[in-house]
Amino acid sequence: MSMIKKAPAIKTREIHLEEPVNELLDDYARFIENSPDHVVNAVLKKVLGRDQDYRKWREQRRSERSPSREDAVRGPKGKGMIHRILHSRGFVSALLAMGAGVFLYYTHPFPADQIFLRVIAMRAPHAFLSFRYLYNTILFTTPFMVFSTVLSGPNRIGPTPSAPSPVSTLPHSSSRGSPTSVNMIKPTPNITLAIP
């Protein structure tokens, strides 16, 4: 990355100015000893950049025109499907989990020969089958959760500012007999976790 940024592109545009505005532009350009083009660029950047309504409108239009996630992942023609597959964390996690699950299935089979499990198999065959299916399912789902967590990137769970505590006012009688109000603050948690 270079230290000096590339100059912005210059476009030619014909603009019709009112006579007093044209004189003001020329005078100000002479005052700062620069070209009228520079003055127009600087004024437009400064004035339009401060217009809050315009900034909201521009951001809304950019969000409407921004490509969808699928379009952004699609990539150049001819590489669309492969590009999407390689950038799909869920799919990659599932492939890795399948490989790890098959490996674990053959290296750590269900221990059906243990005495405790044999007793369960004789007394409650449906419970034994449930244990066996659960064991085999865990061999595949645990690696999937691990790979999904690893491939998801940095941890996005964190504290967010909590909302202000709601205050309720209850009538309370003072020692003089006239009703006054007492503020009672309802407790709220200090930290709210945001999980996207």
In the prediction, which pLDDT does 1 show?
56
Decide: residue 101, CB within 10 A, 0-12 exposed, 13-18 middle, 19+ buried.
buried
Q: Give dist(CA 13, CA 39) in Å, integer.
A: 15
Q: Give dist(CA 137, CA 105) in Å, integer.
A: 10
In the prediction, which pLDDT does 153 show?
67
* Beta strand pairing call for 167-173 and 179-185: antiparallel
Domain boundaries of the chain, sorted by first residue? 19-66, 80-151
Of the candidates 161, 157, 180, the residue with the CA atom closest to the CA atom of residue 170: 180
pTM: predicted TM-score of the whole model, two decimal places = 0.37
Could you give the C-alpha distances from 3 to 6, 9, 17, in angstroms and in order?
10, 18, 38
DSSP annotation of 76 reads: S
In the prediction, which pLDDT does 135 show?
92
What is the token pair recorded at 102? 């098959």
* Amino acid at the residue 20: P
Q: Give dist(CA 45, CA 157) in Å, integer.
A: 38
Q: Is the pLDDT of residue 167 over 50?
A: no
In the prediction, which pLDDT does 66 show?
64
Of residues 17 and 189, which shows the higher confidence score? Answer: 17
Of residues 89 and 191, which shows the higher confidence score? Answer: 89
Q: Is the pLDDT of residue 73 over 50?
A: no
Average pLDDT over residues 131-140: 91
CB 135 within 8 A of CB 117: no
Of the candidates 58, 32, 54, 6, the residue with the CA atom closest to the CA atom of residue 40: 32
Q: Is the pLDDT of residue 77 over 70?
A: no
Average pLDDT over residues 156-178: 50
Average pLDDT over residues 69-76: 50
Chain segment 18-70, per-residue pLDDT in tens:
888 888 888 988 998 888 888 888 888 888 888 888 888 888 888 877 655 55
Q: Give dist(CA 31, CA 128) in Å, integer.
A: 91
